[in-house]
């Protein structure tokens, strides 16, 4: 559905002749019907990538295709296949109602929104009662739903959401995750740009982690979690006075000491490594109290990739 | 395209209703400013002054100027306003190019402006005791074709606003500079190639002598249409240049 190939975008640095590589030769594809997340810290290049896809930024080089149509060569036709919710809560006309916003944004795309279609979308999003209220009187969560309603009114198969949970309270953010899943169930393809790992963990099928303008990993979310889950171990040891000295001797550099327990967190590439460590501990008379497989959340995966420890 | 036009027209109407206080106070300002100019000129020079040739000319010139500034300011302020609100990029991601959206807005605004300007013009001619010979088809012909050049200027300013954003001082300069375009003695031919000037010149003929559009000299029509075409084409070209610049620098939505 979306193909990004060798995308590069640089911006001039303030007070310097150098250029900042906001997006550094990235490639990825978004497949039909999936929720694809671009995850990364602030300044990673996610929004620049998203804005390049929706034709708001002209890249230095590379190719972007939406349903086989080049955004750079045939912007209008390519954009007719996507609708976008851009970052922030100012992407709607605040002095207009949700219905008026939907009708306007559908209209400027050349589409006439009929009443029953608008009513159906608003009902699905739980906005039916708010349809005639001016947007600036709605809560942040309702405003974000209205932005989604505007997207749905366009009737496109692909939705691009830039930082969609930014500024939402916890309840609204949780509700929003369900909403994104619903979009997928309605047959939509969703490209998310976010730094909200809870959102990614809850809804994404595939994830591209961006850092410093590059994609450091692009993989199915499940595989990423499995990969890390297989490696994470928490080993508790019973200290006997020389335990820490022995650990240092065996090459360990980090552990936590909590009362009568020394705790080690290990990332191992295979079970064989674990057996080797157990053998070393036995030889050095380090008493093991317990070994637990650690639960892995997306935060750990993200940090591992973005700080270069992976 | 028709749906896009209707959407922009409806939005203009909705905003006009929601910001009615702003609209009414704008009209009041227009009238107060006019009476200050009119009675000021009358007090110091009467009907023999060259400024706008006659007091009748002042009425016509003033309303031509209003149409002119409303048209070009509408575009520029519109872009600044959207950039401030944060909706500009959202409009830009429409598959229908932004320049068309601007054009539709300008046409919508023009319709609203005409709906206010024409009755106001009759109102001031009545209150000032100056009888103006208005043939409505000629009046609309001149307003429509004359305003096209203002739209061109508006697109230029709109383009500049996309890149530089804070251009309010520049808009003020153009606004006051444009007063000259519609108030000058336009007997010199080259003056009439300034935006809107030819329309103002012919409007004066209409208002003072009652000349109807089919009675204008052929060359007058050619100048009127040429000025409109030249400024609109230049406006589109300049706008596209600045639009591309804003897309390269990634500053479309920034303010």
ipTM associated with this complex? 0.82
B contacts of A86 (beta carbons < 8 Å): 86, 89-90, 93, 253
| B17 contact residues in A (CB cutoff 8 A) | none
- Dihedrals φ, ψ of B228, to 5°? -60, -50
Residue B3 and residue A110: Cβ atoms within 8 Å? yes
Residue pLDDT tens, chain B, 255 long: 888 999 998 888 888 888 778 778 877 887 887 888 777 777 766 544 444 456 666 777 777 778 788 888 888 888 888 887 888 888 899 999 888 888 888 888 888 888 877 788 778 877 877 776 678 888 888 888 988 888 888 889 888 888 887 788 888 888 877 776 666 666 677 777 888 788 888 887 887 777 888 888 999 999 999 999 999 999 999 999 999 999 998 887 766
Q: How far is CA B192 from the centre of its chain?
A: 16
How confident is the model at residue B132, as a pLDDT? 67
Which residues in chain A touch residue B4, judged by CB atoms under 8 angstroms apart? 107-110
Closest chain A CA to residue B104: A108
Give the pLDDT confidence score for residue B52 in this predicted structure. Answer: 47
Q: What is the pTM of this model?
A: 0.80
Q: Which of A56, A77, A111 sits opposite B93 (nearest CB)?
A: A56
The residue of B6, B12, B18, B95 whose CB has the most chain A CBs within 10 angstroms, and thus the best one to mutate to test that interface, is B95
Q: Which two tokens stand for residue A48?
A: 């620049």
What pLDDT score does A160 carry?
93
Contact B4 A109 (CB under 8 A): yes
- Asked if B96 lies within 8 A of A107 by C-beta distance, the reply is no
Low-confidence ranges of chain A (pLDDT < 50): none
Q: How far apart are CA B158 and CA B65, in angstroms?
A: 19
Q: Which residue has the tokens 């609309």?
A: B140
All residues at 6 or more sequence positions from B135 whose CB lies less than 8 Å from its CB, including other chains = B206, B210, B212, B213
Pairing of strands A189-194, A35-39: parallel
Contact A56 B3 (CB under 8 A): no
Residue of B nearest to A87 (CA): B86
Residue A277 pLDDT: 85
CA pair distance A9, A73, nearest whole angstrom: 17
Residue B215 structure tokens: 């009675």
How many CB atoms within 10 Å of residue B63?
25
Find the Cα–Cα–Cα–Cα dihedral A269, A270, A273, A279, rounded to 10°: 150
- What pLDDT is attached to residue A33? 92
Terminal Cα distance for chain A, rounded: 30
């Amino acid at each position: 559905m979306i193909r990004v190939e060798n995308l590069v975008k640089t911006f001039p640095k303030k007070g310097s002749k150098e250029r900042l590589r906001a997006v550094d030769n990235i490639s990825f594809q978004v497949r039909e019907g999936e929720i694809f997340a671009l995850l990364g810290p602030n300044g990673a290049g996610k929004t620049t990538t998203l804005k390049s896809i929706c034709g708001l930024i002209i890249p230095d080089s590379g190719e972007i295709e939406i349903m086989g149509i080049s955004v750079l060569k045939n912007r209008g036709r390519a954009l007719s296949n996507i609708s976008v919710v851009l970052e922030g809560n100012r992407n709607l006309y605040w002095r207009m109602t949700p219905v008026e916003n939907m009708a306007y944004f559908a209209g400027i795309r050349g589409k006439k929104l009929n009443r029953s279609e608008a009513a159906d979308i608003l009902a699905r999003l739980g906005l039916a009662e708010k349809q005639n209220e001016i947007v600036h009187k709605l809560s942040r969560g309702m405003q974000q739903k209205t932005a989604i309603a505007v997207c749905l009114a366009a009737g496109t198969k692909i939705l691009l959401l830039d930082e969609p949970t930014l500024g939402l309270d916890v309840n609204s953010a949780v509700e929003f995750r369900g909403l994104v899943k619903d979009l997928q169930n309605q047959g939509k393809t969703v490209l998310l740009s976010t730094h909200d790992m809870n959102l990614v963990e809850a809804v994404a099928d595939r994830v591209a982690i961006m850092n410093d303008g590059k994609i450091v990993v692009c993989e199915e979310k499940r595989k990423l979690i499995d990969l890390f889950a297989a490696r994470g171990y928490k080993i508790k040891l019973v200290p006997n006075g020389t335990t820490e000295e022995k650990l240092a001797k065996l090459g360990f550099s980090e552990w936590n000491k909590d009362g009568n327990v020394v705790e080690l967190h290990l990332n191992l590439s295979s079970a064989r490594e674990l057996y080797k460590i157990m053998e070393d501990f036995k030889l050095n008379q380090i008493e093991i109290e317990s070994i637990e497989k650690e639960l892995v959340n997306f935060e750990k995966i993200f940090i591992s990739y973005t700080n270069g420890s992976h | 395209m028709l749906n896009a036009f209707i959407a922009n027209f409806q939005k203009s109407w909705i905003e006009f209703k929601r910001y009615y206080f702003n609209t009414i106070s704008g009209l009041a300002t227009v009238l107060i400013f006019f009476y200050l100019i009119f009675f000021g000129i009358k007090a110091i020079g009467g009907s023999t002054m060259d400024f706008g040739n006659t007091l009748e000319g002042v009425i016509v010139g003033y309303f031509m100027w209003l149409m002119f500034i409303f048209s070009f300011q509408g575009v520029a302020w519109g872009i600044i306003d959207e950039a401030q609100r944060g909706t500009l990029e959202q409009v830009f991601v429409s598959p229908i190019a932004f320049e068309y959206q601007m054009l539709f807005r300008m046409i919508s605004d023009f319709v609203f402006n005409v709906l206010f300007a024409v009755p106001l013009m009759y109102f001031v001619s009545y209150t000032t005791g100056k009888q103006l010979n208005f043939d409505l088809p000629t009046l609309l012909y001149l307003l429509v074709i004359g305003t096209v050049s203002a739209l061109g200027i508006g697109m230029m300013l709109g383009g500049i606003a996309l890149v530089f954003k804070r251009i309010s001082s520049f808009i003020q300069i153009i606004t006051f500079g444009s007063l000259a375009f519609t108030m000058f003695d336009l007997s010199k031919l080259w003056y009439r190639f300034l935006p809107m000037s030819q329309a103002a010149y012919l409007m004066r003929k209409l208002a003072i002598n009652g000349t109807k559009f089919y009675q204008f000299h052929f060359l007058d029509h050619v100048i009127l249409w040429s000025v409109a075409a030249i400024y609109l084409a230049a406006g589109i070209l300049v706008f596209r240049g600045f639009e591309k610049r804003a897309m390269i620098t990634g500053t479309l939505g920034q303010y």
